[in-house]
Amino acid sequence: MLVHKFLIRIEEERGRLLHWAPLFMGSGIGLYFGLMTEPTVPVYVGLTALIVICAVIARIWPWGIGPLATAIGLMAFGVSLAGARAHYVAEPVLGFRYYGPVEGRIVNIDRSQSDAVRLTLDQVRLDDVSPASRATMVRVSLHGDQRFLDPAIGQRIALTAHLSGPNGPVEPGGFDFQRMAWFRGIGAVGYTRVPALLLSPPEPGVNLAVSRMRQAISAWVRGVLPGETGAFAAAITTGDRSAMGRPTIEALRASNLAHLLAISGLHMGLLTGFIFQATRMLLSLWQGVALRFPIKKLAACVAILSGGFYLALSGGNIATERAFIMVATMFVAILFDRRALSLRAVAMAAIIVMTLHPEALAEPGFQMSFAATTALVAVFGWLRDRTRDDRAWRAPKWARPALAVVISSFVAGLATAPFGAAHFNQVSHFGLLANLLSVPVMGALIMPLAVLAALLSPIGLGWLPLKLMGPAIDWIIGVARFVSSLDGATGQIPAPPDAVLPLVAVGGIFATLLKSRARWVSLVPFAIATLLWSQVTRPPVLISATGGLVGVMTKDGRALSKPRGESFAALSWLENDGDPADQETAFARTGFTGAKGKMRAALAGATLIHLTGRGAGDRVTDACASADLVVLSGKVTIPAPPGCVLLDRAGLAKTGAVALWPDTGRFIVETARAKSGDRLWTR
């Protein structure tokens, strides 16, 4: 009986299989990234056969088991697609630590977490490194005196840098930078403290012409609007955030306004929507055109072209490409006389994005963009259907725009909150207030003025709209600083277990797509996700991949073994703990005893000693005499005593970061390498 009802329910949903396709396709992609070993050729052959069999079944029996076969086939396709993409982007990864001369061409300029200028180089040359081992693209942070170089896209430069392959997670199961770098083609990362020198100016040609134009526009915008105002304007017009100050960025993040900096769905939607409406209005004023041509479709074509130009101008990153695909899909729906804002259009956009960049599924931008878009389309679709009922309440016309802003901000914030909290370990308690005060200004003033500046710049009047844009930008920055300064503006959230976000996504899709009482099924994955997240337990001991930093959990939070150094790992651990403390505060906590260079921690009957500094390898025997585990930031120079458990730099280089769980005088060990598995990007 239950099976029969289940098949009937599937048959009812058969007409909306496109809406469900992203769920099954994304499940396959997620399954690929969750594997512990890389699939072999026979596995892909088997998946291909399964896809063909499922397609045949779906064709022969479009009812009953047909939709089930389609779902299974889409999952197999997702696994195969992600695997094909991972092999397609494969580039050499530097397999050792390199110090020496580096030459390359600048293809991107941004800033590191420490606010240093960071250059991405291609056409790389390394001294005495064979082409088979040489990374084709490297990313280098510039420290020290760098007054000899004014970086520009297309320049060929030389510098002396420390390089290594991209690092793995700072803790088992943490953010996998290795995987992200693999899909972006970055084979080495590092830094330099000596001046970088210009070898040759940008070469003429179209290869990097758009990037150079982007940089020139960014410089022009900052010249018209100095300071943080101009940096904000450059960020939203060209995607160049290199001039943004760290305090402003932190204020925007704490007030949940950081999305205004990223050229994503909001900017692309505001820009193309404004151009669509403006073009349609202008064409309607021309009577001969309005009566003879479909001006709505012409306006949609202009909007698509403007979105494509905005995509190229902003650097063509994945987030902007995703936003362009979303808006382009909706305008194409207009060309085919279909409803632009529909769940079908959102599903099509998700399928296209996952086909082009399956790795985007694991990124917060993808998850938050589609969560917000899906929720907004579903809620406003429901409201539209409700207003067709003559008995339904309708807001006064004068209040509808403001009410729409309130509803959209609330719905988008609610839909993206779990994903933002999981990825960034932070919740903005006054984010709704900040968005209500800022998003209307962004849509009504800033984006239209940006379009006007682009139209007037060829005749030398582009500066005028930019000047008018300045006060509006200052308003948004002021709102961010005010909201972020309020007591309790942000709350810290510990990192959730791996299963939480997939469960939240499934629950959201069920709530959106299922009808009537069946929608209550969505509460099941939501409840499981909430329970798992509420019961999360952070590792009592964390050890960095170099052995240079150890963190132990105490009743006051995680205590760190040193106040400075390895700050990325330290801050990542604290953020994942849901702990707002900085590294120095965490070091001052009661957790470690002893002098510098030999820190001791006792947990559950086990003793850990952390040796650092010069000559640490010579002190192993003494440390082993009074500890169950010794962590060493260098290499062992003398044989360790029998029975001494030792983690040194050489061993940690093979295992990656380590999490320890004390258990009656011993430690249960979990390594980052074991958690990540044997994948293309970990080899």
pTM value? 0.86
What pLDDT score was predicted for residue 49? 96
Of 246, 27, 289, 297, the C-alpha closest to 116 is: 246
Amino acid making up residue 338? R
Helix, strand, coil shares of the chain, percent, nearest 5, are 55, 15, 30
What pLDDT score was predicted for residue 509? 93
H or E segment and range at residue 491: strand 490-492
Q: Helices H, strands E: what count in the chain? A: 25, 17
Amino acid making up residue 494? P
Residue where the block lists tokens 């088997």: 46
Amino acid making up residue 212? R
Q: Which residues of 310-341 are buried (b: 16+ CB within 10 A; e: fewer)?
A: bbbbbbebbbbbbbbbbbbbbbbbbeeeeebe
Give the count of beta carbons closer than 10 Å to the beta carbon of residue 298. 15
423 CB contacts (<8 Å, ≥6 apart)? Answer: 364, 367
What pLDDT score was predicted for residue 408? 81
What pLDDT score was predicted for residue 52? 96
Intervals of the chain under pLDDT 50: none
Cβ–Cβ < 8 Å for 255, 431: yes
What pLDDT score was predicted for residue 577? 95
Cβ–Cβ < 8 Å for 212, 152: yes
What pLDDT score was predicted for residue 309? 85
What pLDDT score was predicted for residue 63? 74
CA distances from 615 to 456, 626, 632, 638 (A): 66, 19, 10, 11
What does the angle CA 365 – CA 258 – CA 431 come to, to the nearest 5 degrees? 105
User: How many angstroms separate the CA atoms of 233 and 229, rounded?
Assistant: 6
Of 683, 525, 556, the C-alpha closest to 93 is: 683
User: How many angstroms separate the CA atoms of 414 and 375, rounded?
Assistant: 9
What pLDDT score was predicted for residue 615? 78
What pLDDT score was predicted for residue 16? 66
User: How many angstroms separate the CA atoms of 242 and 261, rounded?
Assistant: 12
User: How many angstroms separate the CA atoms of 379 and 403, rounded?
Assistant: 13
What pLDDT score was predicted for residue 574? 95
